[in-house]
């Protein structure tokens, strides 16, 4: 079959690549062609399996749902300048690709603790490695019509925003799998554009960028700061919410997206604290909505809709250690910690399967309601410091993340809509 021929050809070019120092331009072009076609066929096979196992199988006319645990990953950031200055001792040891050991210092009477995650990244981990393991698999799910969420959680100054956004503006020429300091959000956008263009299907992409600051919602892409954003329960989908007033911006190229991402980042609230020179003072949700045109069984035009939510939570923090005892920084810290505390209660309630889940106690948990215990495929990246001065905060993050592994979601592909229905919504 075509797939077997392409795999054999791809292996041949891999052998050529290893046996020669360089390849001619023709060989490179041919290799690229075979790789592109191979990936395209593998995507088609994957989607057929996805359709067979989830969204398109029915029982009594209803889609079959399969429970899936939230995936939890851990990332340890390298020792920073502050920790080097005070000669901080490292208390975190990534003992394997999945196991992390928290070890107290010699003068500390506490015992060591081991935690297991879906994947653990040590201080030497690269941005593209984290993306490949955590987010790249979700690109196929989004294209298959699922909603997916990835969010970073951890103490302030442990690398959440670095992981999600990165510290350098992505270049148009760079690839989503390049070894650069670009974060998850620009890589995911790059990856989605590449995959969609390779399918040669008709598609559209919209993005939104929502900020939650002091329990107030703000559209980071809006040109009108006076628009009031409200959250409502979706009467058509139990457990889902509608964010009214949030603009979804149509984008046509990577350049469009990178400019909007930079605009949103500039508007996001940050401040300098003792723990972090550029501490995020708000939670943000960057959403990518993809519409893919398909033809139905009777020739009608249908739109398959997939969504990727990329969430950068503000860091939990000790108000005194962060130097935020007075004024506006205190209010920010209280609101940040309160919303994260509610998030922790929601996770505990879901794990213990209590009848009441306190989603409504915070706007953050309402926004994440579908991602925690709902119909979304969800991953959490927990970020921690390796230093002994942050032992308590690190232990809290590890316990929080380890508990979240037991949350079960019920992923379900979005219902395909007629083109007329979607046009009415926009």
238 known member of a binding site: no
158 is an annotated ligand-binding site residue: yes
User: Residues for the chain: how many in total?
Assistant: 426
Judge whether 180 is annotated as a binding position: no
Count CB-CB contacts under 10 A for residue 278. 11
Assess contact for 190 and 254: CB atoms under 8 A.
yes
Distance CA 156, CA 299 (A): 53
Backbone angles phi, psi at 418, to 5 degrees: -70, 150
Token digits of residue 142: 């989004």
C-beta separation of 238 from 374 below 8 A: no
Residue 183 assigned as binding residue: no
As a whole number of angstroms, the distance between CA 13 and CA 30 comes to: 9
d(C-alpha 269, C-alpha 161), whole Å: 12
Residue 12 marked in a binding site: no
The answer to whether the annotation marks 239 as part of a ligand binding site is no
Cα gap 41→199, rounded to integer Å: 10
DSSP, residue by residue, 13-31? HHHHHHHSS---HHHHHHH
Listed in order, strand segments (DSSP E) in 314-402 are 377-384
Q: 156 among the known binding-site residues?
A: yes
**Token pair 């979005």: residue:** 414
Residue that is written with structure tokens 């066929």 in the block: 41
Please give the radius of gyration of the chain, using alpha carbons only, rounded to the nearest integer: 23
Are 246 and 367 in contact, with CB atoms under 8 Å apart? Answer: no
- The response to whether 159 counts as a known ligand-binding position is yes
3-class DSSP state of 293: strand
Annotation: binding site: 154-161
Known binding residues for ATP = 154-161
């Amino acid at each position: 079959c075509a797939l077997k021929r392409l795999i054999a050809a791809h292996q041949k070019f891999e052998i050529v690549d290893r046996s020669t120092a360089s390849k001619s331009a023709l060989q490179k072009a041919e290799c690229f062609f075979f790789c592109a076609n191979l990936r395209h066929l593998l995507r088609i096979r994957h989607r057929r399996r996805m359709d067979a196992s989830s969204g398109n199988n029915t029982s009594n006319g209803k889609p079959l749902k399969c429970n899936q645990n939230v995936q939890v990953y851990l990332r340890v950031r390298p020792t920073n300048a502050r920790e080097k200055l005070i000669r901080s001792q490292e208390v975190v040891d990534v003992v394997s690709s999945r196991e992390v050991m928290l070890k107290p210092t010699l003068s500390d009477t506490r015992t060591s603790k081991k935690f297991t995650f879906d994947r653990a990244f040590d201080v030497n981990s690269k941005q593209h490695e984290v993306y490949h393991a955590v987010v790249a698999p979700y690109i196929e799910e989004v294209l298959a019509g699922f909603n997916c969420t990835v969010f970073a959680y951890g103490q302030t100054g442990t690398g959440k925003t670095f992981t999600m956004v990165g510290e350098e503006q992505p270049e148009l020429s760079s690839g989503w799998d390049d070894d650069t300091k670009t974060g998850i959000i620009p890589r995911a956008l790059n990856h989605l554009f590449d995959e969609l263009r390779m399918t040669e299907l008709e598609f559209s992409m919209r993005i939104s960028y929502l900020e939650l600051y002091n329990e107030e919602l703000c559209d980071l892409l809006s040109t009108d700061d006076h628009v009031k954003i409200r959250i409502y329960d979706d009467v058509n989908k139990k457990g889902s919410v509608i964010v009214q007033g949030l603009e979804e911006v149509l984008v046509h190229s990577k350049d469009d997206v990178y400019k909007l991402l930079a605009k949103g980042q500039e508007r996001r609230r940050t401040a300098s604290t003792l723990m972090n020179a550029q501490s995020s003072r708000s939670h943000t949700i960057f959403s990518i909505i993809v519409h893919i045109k398909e033809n139905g069984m009777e020739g009608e035009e249908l739109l398959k809709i997939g969504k990727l939510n990329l969430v950068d939570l503000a860091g939990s923090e000790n108000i005194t250690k962060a130097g935020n005892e007075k004024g506006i920084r205190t209010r920010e810290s209280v609101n940040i910690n309160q919303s994260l505390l509610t998030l922790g209660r929601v996770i505990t309630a879901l794990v213990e399967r209590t009848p009441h889940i306190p989603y409504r106690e915070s706007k953050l948990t309402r926004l994440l309601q579908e991602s925690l215990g709902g119909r979304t495929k969800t991953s959490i990246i927990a970020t921690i410091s390796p230093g002994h001065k942050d032992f308590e905060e690190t232990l809290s993050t590890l316990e929080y993340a380890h508990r979240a592994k037991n949350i079960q979601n019920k992923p379900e592909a979005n219902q395909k809509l007629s083109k007329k229905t979607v046009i009415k919504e926009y």
